[in-house]
Amino acid sequence: MTGTEKKTNSKKTMTVWEAACTVTGFGVGGGIMAMPMLTEKVGLIAAAVIMAAAIAASYVMHIFIADIAIRGRGKQISTVVSDTLFVGKIKKPLTLVLFFIVGVVLLTSMAAYVTGGGEIIASYLNLPPFLGNLIFYAAAAAIVLFGLKSLGISEGIAVTVILAVVAVLTAASLFHLKPLSLHAAGGFKELTGYFGMAMFCFTAFFAVPQAVEGLECDAKKVKKAVTIGFVNIFALMAAVILSSLAVSDEVTEIAMLGWAKSLGGWAEATGAVFIVLAFATTYWSISFALTNMIKEQFPRVPFRAGWLIATLPSLLISLGNSAGFIELMEIAAGASAIILAFLIVPTAQKASKDSPSQILGKLNSAPVRVIIIAAYLLMAFGNLYAV
């Protein structure tokens, strides 16, 4: 390997922790903030059962995604799906349709994070909402300009800070506990909606190709990174849900607001840091994925132009959209579930016929594929039905 090649690779290589934090950062965004309010509606016992099923199904799906990403040498999911499933004259139009659909889903998600992050910034700095959105967008979108290694380092630092903030707030919550209700009167809509949002919290599928690329397609390291990423998400979610329910005078739509307010002024400022970082980490991964999608579909588009095309619409949507934060999350979650259920699993199945998988093992079976597709269809139903 030449000196130039080493220099190029060093700019892309991630550590396992950085790759894991990319997965964690993607999943720790808005979904976790919505879970305490939803948990309050269904009760802790039902929530625990649903959560276990959601984690299992989502983890298996991410191993499928890791498999096709490794086969595609770190290419984005839409590109690998196109190369594997689409053939003949219809390949190009189907590829463009898929690109458009995925792009809309990602932009919806990004707009939700700009909206949520902007609200927090505007509130604490006493600014008009549009200025809060603009500040969040400028700070979050800028990270992507510096490439994959910058993304990994930023995710690693941000997730470490997030874990520390939640640990401090959880410890402080031990002195302000109130009785928890194990049961609630949640109906079918609430239960399916909870499953849908729980699955969404563990949906980091566009972060997996970034981890694969950063870990140079090392299957063992990729699986380890995905596992650590999921453990981080679960730890954060459990702490946020239980602490919010046990401490908050009122469980708010963005749970950290009510939780921190119940602990006092210092906690509100600390909680604001958590929220902004949580939204930013997800925004980084999504915008990087969309920038790469544009680069792969339109190779002649310069990187910076692709970055602007990928990120600027999210700011414009956030400024013009009146939908609430959870509503945007539910729309994005439902749409992404449909894409996952009907494309990722068949892609992995077809690819495994050409060559053995390095990562799937016994998961590569017909019953597992049917269960995963059913789980993601239920996720889509739960999120879209709840809107």
Mean pLDDT along residues 202-220: 89
Residue 8 inside a domain? The answer is: no
- Burial of 126 per CB tally in 10 Å (0-12, 13-18, 19+): exposed
pLDDT in tens, 275-305: 889 889 989 988 998 998 898 888 888 888 9
334 versus 268: the higher-pLDDT residue is 268
Kindly state the percentage of the chain with pLDDT values over 70. 87
Q: Is residue 303 part of a domain?
A: yes
> Would you state the pLDDT for residue 134?
94
Give the count of beta carbons closer than 10 Å to the beta carbon of residue 172. Answer: 17
Higher-pLDDT residue of 331, 307: 307
232 close to 159: Cβ distance less than 8 angstroms: yes
Please check the confidence at residue 332 and state whether its pLDDT lies above 70.
no
Cα–Cα distance for residue pair 218/213, rounded to 1 Å? 9
**For residue 317, is pLDDT > 80?**
yes
Q: How many CB atoms lie within 10 A of CB 250?
A: 9
Non-local CB neighbours of 54 within 8 Å, separated by 6+ positions? 195, 198, 199, 201, 202, 375, 379
pLDDT of residue 185: 62
Higher-confidence position of 200 and 20: 20
Tell me: pLDDT of 5 over 60.
Answer: no
pLDDT, mean of residues 335-364: 76
Q: What confidence tier does 10 reach under pLDDT thresholds 50, 70, 90? A: very low
pTM, entire model: 0.84
Max mean pLDDT among 33-42, 142-151, 176-185, 231-240 falls in 231-240
Quote the number of domains for the chain.
1
Q: Is residue 138 part of a domain?
A: yes
Does any domain span residue 317? yes
**157-197 tens-digit pLDDT:** 999 999 999 999 889 888 877 766 666 666 888 888 889 88
> 45: domain CATH number?
1.20.1740.10
Report the C-alpha dihedral over residues 249, 255, 260, 261, rounded to 10 degrees: -50
> Between 324 and 232, whose confidence is greater?
232
Identify whether 6 is part of a domain: no
Find the mean pLDDT for residues 253-281: 82
* 3 falls within a domain: no
Read off the pLDDT of residues 103-158 as tens digits, 9 standing for 90 and up. 877 888 888 889 888 888 998 888 998 899 999 999 999 998 888 888 889 999 99
Flag whether 5 is in a domain: no
User: CA gyration radius for the chain?
Assistant: 20
Gap between the Cα atoms of 98 and 93, Å rounded: 9
- Tokens of residue 296, six digits: 């792969």
Domain carrying residue 364? 14-386
Query: 368-379: per-residue pLDDT in tens?
Result: 888 998 998 888
Residues in contact with 136: Cβ distance below 8 Å, sequence separation at least 6, in sequence order: 113, 114, 117, 118, 121, 276, 279, 280
Mean pLDDT of the 335-350 span: 74
pLDDT greater at residue 82 or residue 253: 82
CA dist list (Å): 15 to 79, 97, 205? 25, 35, 19
Closest CA to 133 of 288, 258, 259, 311: 311
Q: Who wins on pLDDT, 385 or 269?
A: 269
pLDDT at 280: 92
Question: What is the residue-averaged pLDDT of the chain?
Answer: 83
pLDDT at position 6: 40
Note the pLDDT of residue 54. Answer: 94
Mind listing the pLDDT tens digit for each residue in 43-88?
A: 888 899 999 999 999 999 999 989 888 888 777 878 888 888 887 7
